[in-house]
Structure 1
Amino acid sequence: MIKTKSDLVRTIRERRSIKSGYTDKAVPQELIQELLNHAIWAPTHGVREPWRFIFVPTDQKDIFVDRLVETFPEDMQENRRNYFSQPAAFLIVIMKEEPEQKKWEENFGAVSSMIQNFQLLAWEEELGVVWKTNPHIYEPKVRSLLGVEEDEKIAGFIHMGYFEEAPPAKERSALDQKFTVYQG
């Protein structure tokens, strides 16, 4: 039984997805690498480590956004430019695809766990992040832009940046609404 709130419990409960309100402060590559070096200790079946990463640093973001918005229909490009210009940097998580459903699901579970580790570690460093899985992650032109191989999928874009104000917590359902005990 947890008697006091540990730093980990506090971080889990206080972490927020930061979707907007990013400052212009650059996101250092060294910090992202340090966070990833810890995040990759997520559980992974058979230690397959089914992930790789593409970091778009702050000083390359505008060039990246220019190329990214070209993958959208012309009538959406200005909207998408505004949307992608908000974060200070991006981390794109690429996942190894597996033809066997069991391994695919294990890989996605591992990638999801690793991303949660990354989010918690970033929060401790006061770096705001949000995991985005918008439709563009399935777009062949975006896959080509990023050099995603046929046996890979884009698990998501992690939007990142420093922020001044965290959003309030959103209530969670009471555990007793979602918890039962098997009675054989």
Structure 2
Amino acid sequence: MPHTEQINQHSSIRDIIRNRRSIRKFKVEPVASDIMLEMLDSAVYAPNHRLTEPWRFIYVSSETGKKNLANQYISFFKRTKPDLTEEKVQNVKNTLSGVPGFLLVVCKVDENERAKDDDFAAVSCLIQNLQLLAWEKGIGMVWKSGPILYDKEMHKAFGLKDDERFAAIIQTGYPDEMPKVKDRTPVRERFTEL
């Protein structure tokens, strides 16, 4: 598997969890869709109350698909940021063009508030599973969120139903640059025993 030596120096789940990083600089080569499907086939074994399986996925890695996604981003920013300059538009285009693939994670939105929370928690667990499976294969990801996930025009452009929304837009590819490790707060400082 390409680029694995760069990431996977250990094989225990503990090491993969602790060593995984959000990747923002990628090599040009996209992750093949069969590899993405293979990882998703395992990632769906996330905890999921009532086994609702509230997810589906749209993989964007073709030049046409990526251009469409970039246009949707720019359209969104123009609608929501009236002071958007041409320079900022170009920055958005440049940033997105440096990403080999995007996995759009779609989440079903239940009318029941508790079920909606349970479903989003399950989708979040799935995304973490996917990131760990990817890291094990030498694939990097960064989980992107923000107001665009709720944008109805964006939903329409990608065929979302009325009871769906984006849970994440995951940028993915083979890492070209490794971020430095950031220290975490020792868990003892956030741990109470009763």
Q: So what's the TM-score if we normalise by structure 2?
A: 0.85
Please tell me whether residue 14 in structure 1 is matched to residue 19 in structure 2. yes
Partner of 2:3: none
Q: Among all aligned residue pairs of Structure 1 and Structure 2, give the percentage whose two residues are the same amino acid.
A: 34
Task: Kindly report which structure 2 residues correspond to 1:136-151, keeping only aligned pairs within 5 A, or say none.
Answer: 136-151=148-163
Partner of 1:37: 41
Please tell me whether residue 106 in structure 1 is matched to residue 106 in structure 2. no
Partner of 1:123: 135
Task: Kindly report which structure 2 residues correspond to 1:52-131, keeping only aligned pairs within 5 A, or say none.
Answer: 52-68=56-72, 69-73=74-78, 75=85, 76-131=88-143
Q: Which has the higher contact order (CA 8 A, sep 6+)?
A: 2
Shift of 1:156: 0.9
Tell me if structure 2 keeps the 8 A contact 1:22–1:86. yes
Structure 1 residues 46 and 6: alpha-carbon distance in aligned structure 2, compared to 1, 3 A threshold:
same
Report Cα offsets for 1:86-142 as digits up to 9, x if no partner. Answer: 211000000010111110110011000000000000101111101100221122211
Please tell me whether residue 164 in structure 1 is matched to residue 176 in structure 2. yes
Shift of 1:166: 1.5
Report Cα offsets for 1:137-183 as digits up to 9, x if no partner. Answer: 1222111111111111110100011113311111111111100011x
Question: In structure 2, how many angstroms separate the alpha carbons of the residues matched to 1:118 and 1:89?
Answer: 14
Question: In structure 1, how many angstroms separate the alpha carbons of the residues matched to 2:119 and 2:98?
Answer: 30
The correspondence for 1:50, drawn from 51, 54, 73, is 54
Aligned residue pairs total 177
Shift of 1:58: 4.0
Question: In structure 2, how many angstroms separate the alpha carbons of the residues matched to 1:32 and 1:128?
Answer: 12
Please tell me whether residue 25 in structure 1 is matched to residue 36 in structure 2. no
Gaps of 5+ in 2: 1-9, 79-83
Structure 1 residues 66 and 9: alpha-carbon distance in aligned structure 2, compared to 1, 3 A threshold:
closer
Shift of 1:63: 2.6
Structure 1 residues 79 and 138: alpha-carbon distance in aligned structure 2, compared to 1, 3 A threshold:
farther
Gaps of 5+ in 1: none
